[in-house]
A and B are shown apart, each in its own frame.
Chain A
Amino acid sequence: DSGVTQTPKHLITATGQRVTLRCSPRSGDLSVYWYQQSLDQGLQFLIHYYNGEERAKGNILERFSAQQFPDLHSELNLSSLELGDSALYFCASSVRWGLADTQYFGPGTRLTVL
């Protein structure tokens, strides 16, 4: 158990809908990262927050947004969902954002868009 929790574990929805994925980092970790993992594209970095502020953006679509709250939990919002958004979404946390910091991953949320 990494100490990172993600809810829900599974999510099934229809095209055009909007969903929110939630992540609680390990106690004491200030950084939260979001990743998308799909069979055809591998592991894609989406976005990084540190202590409530956005620090880096990766391959995140404009239909997707995220935020980190004062209690350090984070939410990833996916809107106007398309079939291709079906994937595993992982959240990870680290103490700070140093180059050598280990990222601790949650168990993931499996999103299925029908």
Chain B
Amino acid sequence: GNSVTQMEGPVTLSEEAFLTINCTYTATGYPSLFWYVQYPGEGLQLLLKATKADDKGSNKGFEATYRKETTSFHLEKGSVQVSDSAVYFCALSTSNAGNNRKLIWGLGTSLAVNP
């Protein structure tokens, strides 16, 4: 079946450190891949997405590349800030036999950035 596996948190980094949050998936067909972020006390919001193999999504200094050969969509940022402290969710969008679209979510990775 379809699934998303994210690295477990919490991840704690110092400001300006390099961030990688790993995400791998299993899916049939050609899913779209997403990273959502949830800041404390808020709902989720889209961070970036990629809709086909080798696409790179980017936003606010974050990047992720859709790698079909390794079934991965790792999130990276070159220099994190305290304001990046949040929970990050990897998700894939696929459809079932009835052509009903479904988002499959990872468990989320908590990131804490210290000044």
Contact = CB atoms under 8 A, between A and B. Distances in A.
- Are A and B part of the same complex? yes
A92 B102 CA distance: 13
User: What size tier do the contact residues of chain A reach?
Assistant: 20 to 34
Interface in A52-109: 55-56, 58, 90, 92, 97-108
B105 A42 contact: yes
B46 interface: yes
B101 A90 contact: no
A56 B101 contact: yes
Nearest to B94: A99
What does DSSP make chain A's interface, helix, strand, loop or mixed? loop
Given A42-B108, A56-B96, A98 B43 contact: no
Interface string A25-64: 0000000010000000011010010000001101000000
Nearest to A31: B101
B50 to A, nearest CB: 9
B77 interface: no
Given A45-B105, A99-B94, A56 B100 contact: yes
A99 B32 contact: yes
User: B43, B46, B89, B107 — which one has the most chain A CB atoms within 10 A of its CB?
Assistant: B43
26 contacts: A2-B45, A33-B103, A42-B105, A42-B107, A42-B108, A43-B105, A43-B107, A43-B108, A48-B101, A48-B102, A55-B100, A58-B102, A97-B101, A98-B101, A99-B30, A99-B32, A99-B51, A99-B101, A100-B32, A100-B49, A101-B93, A102-B46, A105-B36, A105-B43, A107-B43, A108-B43
